Each structure stands twice: as structure tokens, then as C-alpha cells.
Amino acid sequence: MSNIQDKVVIITGASSGIGEATAKELSSKGAKLVLAARREERLQKLQHDIQSHGGQAIYKVTDVTSVEQMEELASYTLKKFGKIDVLINNAGLMPNSFLYKRRVDDWNQMVDVNIKGVLYGIAAVLPSMRERKSGHIINLSSVAGHVVGAGSAVYAGTKFAVRAISEGLRKEEADNNIRSTIISPGMVKSELPESITDMEFKPVVEKMYERAIEAESIARAIAFAIEQPSNVAINEMLIRPTSQER
Ligand code: NDP
């Protein structure tokens, strides 16, 4: 039996891209899913797709920038499924641009979703995981959490932060049998480039993304991390298109 069978997994940003692909992959391996994002019709459709393939999924409309909504997401999961085995902090956005363009609203949004959203997720699930002395928190960083490119200073800053927070979490919760995994993708086909508001910069990124790999590639890596025995923690994976140099 798969070590994913019957695990209760919360996925933020489940309404598209990597989150959606991961939900389908984990469902095919028997996970019980809690899908979270802001676009309800997308979540409904995904829930329906999963259920029509014999999987189990519920959803809750959640904005990860609200600590209250993240707490409610965890409570809802505990009420419906009795436990939280895995949280995948996947919601994120990448409105890249140069610093001199002073796109302060974009900076704030990236900090709020990419960093605070991850922290609120950790805050929401840690109490019950610590109580059970069991759990797994998977945070989506990026190759941009390792390498800073011109135009991605703020996004990279948020993804470096995700790696720092994940490493702190790993050290703090090792004795509580809580695993921590950083997933650092390279270019992946998804709606991510659509979050770019700088119309001069967007075509540059879209051109680069012509070599992007399928979101399923990341979903398989996430499944690999989850399906290890509980005494084995896959702490970080970098997954790039083969042709991506940086
Ligand atoms: P998508 O744009 O396809 O998905 C992003 C998801 O985040 C959507 O489901 C969106 O749902 C959700 N989201 C955004 N803001 C919020 C919010 N405030 N509250 C709740 N959910 C929110 O992009 P990806 O699938 O590519 O991105 C997933 C993660 O992977 C991100 O963290 C991204 O930084 C990371 N990543 C992606 C790479 C790529 O090349 N695609 C490369 C490296 C890392 P909704 O709008 O419905 O709320």
C-alpha cells in the first residue's frame, strides 16, 4: 500500500498549476485532500474531477494572506478528517519587474502571499501536528530561492525567505517527528507568469517559459517526498527543465 494512502493533505493554491497537478497526483495515490485557494469555481471543478475518478477531496475558499482564514482551513480539516498529515504551502505569485519601477503593490503582495502565507500555514497546522508528534510541511520555494536574477529581486527575496523558514522549521520540529520539505522548481507551465503586471517585462518571461516543464513533474517530486517512510525526510529538491541553465 502507498504511504500516501489515507493521508490528509491540505494544498494551498490548489486552483491551478502545480497545486492542481499535485492534488490529482496525490489523489491517484489515495490521499484525502483539502483544496484551498480563492477561486471557488476552480476548486469545485477540481473536487468534481477528483471525485469522478474515485478520489476524496473537499475544499475551502481560503486567502492565505489571512491568518484567520488559514486557522479556519486547519480547523475545517480537523473537523472533517480528524487529522492533518501534510500541509503543502504552494500558493504564490511572481509579479516580477525591476526595482526602479517601484511597483510597491506587487512587492507587498509577494511578501503577503509568498512569505506570510507560508508562515500562517505553519502556524495553523503546527499545534495539531505537535500534539500527534507526526506531520509534514512542504513549502514551495524556487530556483529563485537559490539564484537572484535581474527583475526578480523581490520574488527571489520571498523564495530565499521560504527556504530560511523551512530550515528553521526543520531544526525546531525534528524532535517532534515533523518533516519539512522545500520544493524548488525551475520554469514550470502554469498561470504564474500571468501575475506579472509590468507589460514590458512580461514578454521576456513568457519567452523564457517556452522551455517550461509540465506541472506534473513537480507533483511527482512532492509525492516522492510524502511517500518516504516517516523516519526519512526529503529536505529539499531542485527540479528544473533539463535545458534550463540557471
Ligand atoms: P499558478 O499561478 O498556476 O498558481 C498559483 C496558485 O496560488 C493559484 O492556485 C492561486 O489561486 C493561488 N493563490 C495566489 N494568491 C493566493 C492567495 N492570496 N490565497 C490563496 N491562494 C492564492 O502558479 P504555480 O502553480 O506555478 O505556482 C505554485 C507555486 O510554485 C508558487 O509558490 C510559485 O512561486 C512556485 N513556483 C512556480 C514556478 C513556475 O515556474 N511555475 C517556479 C518556481 C516556483 P487563486 O487565484 O484561486 O487564489
**pLDDT > 80? residue 1:** no
Instruction: With respect to residue 2, please indicate whether it lies within any of the assigned structural domains.
Output: no
44-99 pLDDT, tens digit per residue, is 999 999 999 999 999 999 999 999 999 999 999 999 999 999 999 999 999 999 99
Are residues 3 and 226 in contact, defined by beta-carbon separation less than 8 angstroms?
yes
Rounded distance, CA 22 to CA 179, Å? 18
Per-residue pLDDT at 2: 83
pLDDT for the residue numbered 205: 93
Catalytic residue among 76, 120, 155, 209: 155
pTM value is 0.98
Residue 245 lies in a domain: no
Is 220 near ligand 1, meaning CB less than 6 Å away? no
**Residue % of the chain over a pLDDT of 90:** 98
Query: How far does residue 30's CA lie from ligand 1's centre (Å)?
Result: 24
Residue 3 is assigned to a structural domain of this protein: no
Establish if 74 belongs to a structural domain: yes
Contacting residues for 38 by C-beta, under 8 A, at least 6 apart: 15, 61, 62, 63
* 86 DSSP 8-state letter: E
In ligand 1, the atom with minimum distance to the C-alpha of 112 is 18
Q: Which domain, by its residues, includes 121?
A: 8-238
Number of domains forming the structure of the chain? 1
Considering the chain, what is the average pLDDT of its residues? 97
Q: Please say whether the dihedral angle defined by the alpha carbons of residues 123, 127, 133 and 134, taken in this order, is positive or negative.
A: negative
Over range 212-220, report the average pLDDT: 98
The reported pLDDT for the residue numbered 231 is 95
CATH code of the domain in which 204 resides: 3.40.50.720
**Res. 184: pLDDT tops 90:** yes
Q: Which of 11, 38, 109 to mutate to test the pocket of ligand 1 (most atoms within 8 A of CB)?
A: 38
Q: Does 155 qualify as catalytic in the annotation?
A: yes
CA of residue 93 to ligand 1 center, whole Å: 5
DSSP state of 188: B
Question: Does residue 191 form part of some domain?
Answer: yes
